[in-house]
Structure 1
Amino acid sequence: MLIPIENVLSNDEVRQFRDVLARATWQDGSQTAGTLARSVKQNQQLDDGSEAAVQLGNHVLRRLGSMPTFISAALPKKIYPPKFNRYADGGTYGAHVDSAVMQVPGTNITVRSDLSATLFLAEPDEYDGGELEIEGPFGVQCVKLAAGDMVLYPSSSLHRVTPVTRGARIASFFWIESMVGDEGERSLLFDLDEAIQALTPLTEPDDPRLLKLTGVYHNLLRRWAST
């Protein structure tokens, strides 16, 4: 399930991010790729331990913690610290699947990648190419969102970033371990929660139908969640 989330960052926040990133030192992104991915990865990344990466990554995490749509869709248990990349001058990332389990650098914490996230930091008209192509059961979906918007998608998906032929594509990316590891179960919970939220303003708080639906949601979450 592919879920876009708008306005994770405001326009002012995007400008602040871009100012910091314009002064940052970028490294060859292939240094952080696995053996197979290294041959198809051509981009730049920030050093995860740099002041810019830590500062901006923490800001992203604070914003996500206050976003009901993200919490409902991801049901996050752990989040890998946000990373930052840049594609320009033909930069691309060929078809790959994200690693299933990742260790947070400098810690003994591991994160199972249930969901991948890309937070766009450049406007679509700033660059040509750079589409995030995600393969799913209904074919390939192309994603190129406004700056400040984010997309969530299954980490198990085969995906790629098409070559950037003009300008620069700048983004943050990270992975989420969900309390509900099964994609189908997590999608059902998200759909049910969205329906409940849509019905809530249309009914009385003590409406037995709404209470029953809410009970079903929490009982399913209780059954499926791993905390």
Structure 2
Amino acid sequence: MFPEEMYAIVPDALDRATCNRLIDGFSQKLDDGGLVQGQSASHIRRSQITWFNETQEPAVMRRIVDMVADVNRNVFDFSLSEFAEDAQIACYAGDQRGHYDWHSDVGASDIARRRKLTMVIQLSEPDQYEGGLLQLNPAGHVFDAPMERGTAIFFPSFVLHRVAPTTAGLRYSLTQWVHGTPFR
């Protein structure tokens, strides 16, 4: 077990109709998400992704902004300043053993260096896929994130996490990063 301050769970962050609308509206716009630092790396990540912003989904983005403010105020108390990246929808397909190996969301680029808080919302029903667990590993103790549709999990962007191989069906998720001055 690791401290609750390393994650926060928000059940029913998005309702069923919103999850369906996001999947239906963006599933035709997905393309290769297996690039890591600009190079094909399907051994690290095998998924399809697309992006959306507040112009395309104003109600969803308002909900995300409100949740981020509440969770950050009550759990993390990070110095957050902006959403420097659009929200991402990812699909991990069982027939391709979709996955994303252990990684943190803090990276080498200017934007990735400023990621402080990661939010992932499960868009698929848990019975629509097998495998595909979102797992966190902040201190050598693996934690399986809830699989219930519409549930959000928040964690510091430096925490190691992965999407375990999806072995059947399709797992859809929404990820949003929140930015501030880099951690020191």
Q: Give the alignment's TM-score, normalised by structure 2.
A: 0.78
Alignment length (residue pairs): 170
What does residue 37 of structure 2 align with? 34
CA offset digits 1:2-28 (Å, max 9, x no partner) = 111122211221222222134x23211
- How far apart, in 1, do the equivalents of 2:72 and 2:102 lie? 28
- How far apart, in 2, do the equivalents of 1:119 and 1:156 lie? 18
CA RMSD of aligned residues (A): 2.7
1:95 to 96, 102, 105: 102
Give the drift of 1:176: 1.3
| 1:8 matched to 2:13 | yes
CA offset digits 1:168-199 (Å, max 9, x no partner) = 110111211258957xxxxxxxxxxxxxxxxx
Give the drift of 1:64: 2.1
- How far apart, in 1, do the equivalents of 2:109 and 2:82 lie? 11
Q: Contact (CA 8 Å) 1:95, 1:159: kept in 2 or not?
A: yes
2:128 to 103, 126, 140: 126
2:82 to 62, 75, 78: 78
More strand by share: 2
Runs of 4+ in 1 over 6 A off after TM superposition: none
What does residue 197 of structure 1 align with? none
Q: Contact (CA 8 Å) 1:97, 1:155: kept in 2 or not?
A: yes
What does residue 60 of structure 2 align with? 60
Q: Contact (CA 8 Å) 2:113, 2:182: kept in 1 or not?
A: no
Structure 1: gaps (5+ residues): 105-109, 183-227
Q: Contact (CA 8 Å) 1:57, 1:81: kept in 2 or not?
A: no
More helix by share: 1
Structure with higher Rg: it is 1
Structure 2: gaps (5+ residues): 1-5
Q: 1:115 to 1:43 in 2, by over 3 A?
A: same
- How far apart, in 2, do the equivalents of 1:81 and 1:111 lie? 16
- How far apart, in 2, do the equivalents of 1:11 and 1:78 lie? 27
* Percent identical: 24
Q: 1:37 to 1:141 in 2, by over 3 A?
A: farther
Q: 1:37 to 1:153 in 2, by over 3 A?
A: farther
- How far apart, in 1, do the equivalents of 2:106 and 2:91 lie? 20
Q: 1:158 to 1:66 in 2, by over 3 A?
A: closer
